[in-house]
A and B are shown apart, each in its own frame.
Chain A
Amino acid sequence: MYDIAIIGAGVIGAFIARELARYELNIVLIDKENDVSNGASKANSAIIHAGYDAKLGTNMAKFNSLGNPMFDKVCEELDVEFKRTGSFVVGFDDADMETIKELYQRGLDNEIEGLEIIDGDKVREMEPNLNDTIKGALYAPTCGIISPWELTIALAENAADNGVEILLNNEVVDIKKIELGYKIITNKREIDSKYVINCAGVYADKVNDMVSKDSFIITPRKGQYFVLDKSVGDFVNTVVFQCPSKVGKGILIAPTIHGNLLLGPDAEDIEDKDDVSTASENLEYIKEIAKNSSSSVPVSKVITTYSGLRSEVSTGDFIIGEAKDAKGFINVAGIKSPGLSSSPAIAEYVVDIMKGITGELKEKSDFNPRRRRVIRFNNLGDEEKAELIKKDPSFGRIICRCESVTEGEIVDIIRRNAGATTVDGVKRRARPGTGRCQGGFCGPRIVEILARELNKDMDEIVKDREGSYILIGNTNKGKK
C-alpha cells in the first residue's frame, strides 16, 4: 500500500513527487508513457512567463506570479539550465497599445516586477531584427527560457533519488474506492494507495471521472512549432510575443535554452487527446504571422517541427484541490499555459493540501534537494575536458557531431535514476540527434550504446513509445 500515488509524470506530477519526497511517505509516480515528460511537458513554448497575463484572482495569476521567482533556486539545485531573457509583447497599432496597457495593469495587479511599456525604437534597439511596424511593447524582464523536459526529468530523477518509485508504461484504466484509499488499475497491474493525485494532463478529466461525479471536460488545444538551426539561435535575445488581438493570439519568436530559435504556436482545438501531428496549413500560418514581428525571420533554417497539446479545461482556470465527493483524491487538472511557469508554486500548494488532509507530515532527515551534476562536456574548459577524458576515456569519443555530445555523457544519462531507455529519451537528456543532421549519423550509435548499457539486442531498442521499434531483426547475412 502506497501512501500517495501520483498519476502523470509530467512537470506537475514530477514536481509534486519531488516536493512530497521531502516527507516520510511511500510514493509512486505512474505514467502511461515509456518515459517521464512525454506529454505536454516536452512540447510547449519552453518559457517561464513573467506572470502579467492572467487576471487577478485566478489560480493562473496566483501560481504564475508565485512560481516564476522560484525557478532560480530549483534549477540551481537540480542543475537545469535556465536563463532570464526578458520578454516583449509587441503591438502594431493603437488597439494593440491599449491591450498592452491592460496587460501592464494586470501585471501591476499581480505584483510582477520590472514591467515597462517601451516604444518601437527602444524595442528595435534591443532587438534589431524586429520590424519597423512595431509601435511599442510591454517589456517584462523576469521572463525566462528553460528546457521543460530537462526540468521534468531532473525532478523525476531527484524524486527517485529520494525514494519515489517511478512506474512507466502503466496506463490507468480504472480507479476503485477501497477501504483505506483507492485501488488504481492499470493495463499492467493494480496499485493500492491511500491518496491519489491526478496530474494526468489532457486525460485528467477521464481520471477524475473514475472516482468523482463532479465532472469537468478537458479539450486538447494543439499548438505547432518550428525549431530553427543554432546558426540563427541569436536572431532574437528575448522572447518576442505578439499582442493578442481580434485576429488571433499571435506567434512568438523565442530563443531556446540550447541556442536554437523557436517559432509558434498556433492554437487549434482538437478531439483526439493523442494527436500531436503537424500540418502544412498550420505551419504555413505560423511562418506568415511570425513575419509580422520580423519579416526577416530565417524560416529557411528549420531543422524540425513539432506540436504539443494544452489542457483547456471547461472551468477556464487551473483546478487544484481535493474532489468534493472523493476524499483523498486530489485533482491538479487543466494546467494549461502558464502551467510550466506555475509548477513550483502548484507543487508547494499541493503539499499544503496534503498536510491539510493528513495532518503534519514528518520530514525526512536525509532528503537531498540536489541531484548529481549533469556533465555538459561542450561547456567545460579545456583543462576540465582533458581531466575528464583521463578519468574516463569515453568522454573523448564524440557520438553526436552536430551537438558535440560524448559517449561518456550518454552513458551517464542512461545510468541515472529515471534514466534514458529510448533513443528519444537519450536525445531529450543529452541532445544527440537534436542538431541539423537530426540523428542521421549518431542514430545507429545511440541504438548500439543503449543496447549495450541496457543489456538488450539492438532490435529491442525503441525510438520512444513501446511500439516504436526501429529495427526488425537481422538481415539474411546479419550477425547471430
Chain B
Amino acid sequence: MEYDIVVIGGGPAGLAAAVEAKKSGVDSILVIERDRELGGILQQCIHNGFGLHVFKEELTGPEYAERFVDKIRELNIEYKLDTMVLNITEDKIVSAMNSKDGLINIKARAVILSMGCRERTRGAINIPGTRPSGIFTAGTAQRYINMEGYMVGKKIFILGSGDIGLIMARRLTLEGAEVIGVAELMPYSGGLTRNIIQCLHDYNIPLFLSHTITRIDGRDRIEGIVLSEVDENKRPIIGTEKYFECDTLLLSVGLIPENELSKSANLKLDNITGGPIVNESMETTVEGIFACGNVVHVHDLVDYVSEEGSRAGKNAAKYVLEGLGRVERIINTKLGKGIRYIVPQVIRLENIDNSITLFMRSDDVYSDVIMNIKLDEEVIKRIKKRTLTPGEMERVNIDMSLLKDNIAETLVVELDRGEE
C-alpha cells in the first residue's frame, strides 16, 4: 500500500491537516483513526464554545468535528477507522492493524502525526491511600457520561483545575451530582478564565488553590479524600488537612502529548512540551514527517489545533509536490524570562510566505508586562499584555519583513516588567 500522505489520528489536527493537504493539490491521502469514528476527543466534548476563531460561531465539539468530517467526505479523502498504528520508521513506513485488513505496511512520502495527548493519572502524581473504584480521569468520566450515557457518581471531588476538570464540574452538576470542590496544586488555575467563571462560579463550586489531595479512603468504592494546603514548594502543610466525603474523584491533572510512535520514528522530542521539535512548516527532525495539534504541545482551544493542522497539511503537500527549502538560514527560538516554551522551535525563513505564528505559554501568572520579541539582542517587536497565565496559550504573529534582512541566529521571547 502506498500513499503520498498518511495522517495518523483523525481528530481535529489530523482532519484539518488532511483537508488542507488535499486542497493544496495532493490526492493520495489516508487518514488512520484508532477509534470507531472520526473527530477524536471532540466527540465527547458536548459543551459549546468551539469554533469562535475558525467559524466565528459557538459550536459543540461534535458539531465542530462534523464540519471537518463533512469536508473529508466532500473531498473524498480516504480514511480507516478502528485502525491502530503500531510503528513508524524513519523511511516513513507506517505499520498498522485492524480486524479487516489485518497487519498492513503503508509506504508514505510524507507522514503527519496528529495523535493528540493523554491524561496524567493518579500514579503519575503519587496520591497515597487505598485503591478503590470511583477514581477517574476527567476525560474518562466525560466519555462514560457523554458517549456511553452512564453516570459515574453522586458526590464528586475534582483534583486539578485544567479545562476538562472544570467542564466536568459543570457537566456533573447539570446531571444531578453534587460537586463539592475543585482543588488546584498551583496558586492559579490551569484552565481558561472563562471556564472558571462559567463552570465553577456560576454553580457556586469552591476552588481551593494551592491545595492537593494527600490521602484517598475507601476499600471498595472511594469514600473520601484528605485535602491539604501546600507551601510554595508544593509540599503539603501538616495541620491543614480537611476531610471530604465523596464517592467519586476526578483527576484533571494535566495532559501529556502521545508520542510513543514519534519515538519509534526516532524524532527528537522537546523536554518541556513533551512533543516533537518542529520547524516553521510543522516538520519534525525527520524529513517528511510532520506533526500538529496536541501531539506537539497541549493547546487550550481547538481552533488553534485546526490552524496548526492546516499548516502541517499545507507544508506536507508542498513537501510532496515540490519539496521544502532545506537549509539556508536557521533561526532557533529561545526561551527568555517568563516563557515556558515556544513552538516552533526552529524557523527556516525561505519556507515562510508572509508571517510566522509562534505558540507559547508563560511560566507563571503575570499582569501588565511587555512581551519582547528579539532577534539575538535586537528587539523587533513589543507587545503589551494585560495578563498572561500558563493556562492560556499565547499566539504571536511575526511579519516576515521583520525577519528577512536580519542575520540573527536566535529568536528570543521574553517578558519585561516594562520599566522603560
**CB-contact partner of B220 in A227, A466, A471, under 8 A:** A466
Chain B residues closer than 8 Å to A441, beta-carbon distance: 118, 140
- A463 x B99 contact (CB < 8 A): no
Q: Which residue of B lies closest to A387 (CB)?
A: B102
Given contacts A283-B128, A401-B34, A465-B219, contact A302 B97 (CB under 8 A): no
Contact A459–B150 (Cβ < 8 Å)? yes
Q: Please tell me if the beta carbons of A470 and B219 are within 8 angstroms of each other in the complex.
A: no
Evaluate contact between A444 and B140: CB separation under 8 angstroms: yes
Contact residues, B118-177 vs A (CB, 8 A): 118-119, 121-124, 126, 128-134, 136-137, 139-140, 143-145, 148-154, 175-176
Q: Digitize B233-254: 1 where CB-to-A-CB distance is under 8 Å, 0 elsewhere.
A: 0001000000000000000000
Within the complex, the shortest CB–CB distance from B185 to chain A, in Å, comes to 15
- Chain A, residue nearest B144 (CB): A444
Residues of chain B with a CB closer than 8 A to A440's CB? 118-119, 121, 137, 139-140
Q: Shortest CB–CB separation between residue A376 and chain B, in angstroms?
A: 15
B84 within 8 A of A: yes
How distant is the Cα of A438 from the Cα of B260 in the complex, in angstroms? 15
Chain B: number of interface residues, binned into ranges: 35 or more
Contacts of B152 in A (CB 8 A): 470-472
Partner of B133, one of A396, A438, A469: A469
Do the beta carbons of A475 and B34 come within 8 Å of each other? no
Check if B132 sits within 8 Å of A468, measured CB to CB: yes
Let me know if A416 is at the binding interface, CB within 8 A. Answer: no
A475 touches B151 (CB 8 A): yes
**Bound state CA distance, A462 and B132, in angstroms?**
10
Which residues of chain A in 280-327 are interfacial with respect to chain B, using CB atoms and an 8 Å cutoff? 280, 282-283, 302-306
State whether A475 touches B150 (Cβ < 8 A). Answer: yes
Majority-rule SS of B interface residues: mixed
- Chain A residue nearest to B35 (CB atoms) is A441
A278–B140 contact, CB under 8 A?
no
Q: Interface residues of A, CB < 8 Å — how many?
A: 56
Distance in angstroms from B47 CB to nearest chain A CB is 14
Check: B194 CB closer than 8 A to any chain A CB. no
Partner-B contacts on A (CB < 8 A): 227, 274, 276-280, 282-283, 302-306, 382, 385-386, 389-390, 393-398, 401, 404, 436-441, 443-444, 448, 458-459, 462-479
- Given contact pairs A393-B100, A401-B260, A471-B150, enumerate 11 new A-B contacts (beta carbons under 8 Å): A277-B130, A397-B82, A398-B34, A401-B34, A436-B121, A443-B140, A463-B132, A463-B133, A465-B219, A472-B151, A475-B149
Q: B residues near A, CB below 8 A?
A: 34, 82, 84, 86, 97-103, 118-119, 121-124, 126, 128-134, 136-137, 139-140, 143-145, 148-154, 175-176, 214-216, 219-221, 236, 260
24 contacts between A and B (CB under 8 A): A277-B216, A305-B126, A306-B131, A386-B102, A397-B84, A401-B84, A401-B260, A436-B124, A438-B123, A440-B137, A440-B140, A443-B136, A444-B143, A444-B144, A463-B133, A465-B219, A468-B133, A469-B221, A470-B152, A471-B150, A472-B153, A474-B150, A478-B148, A478-B149
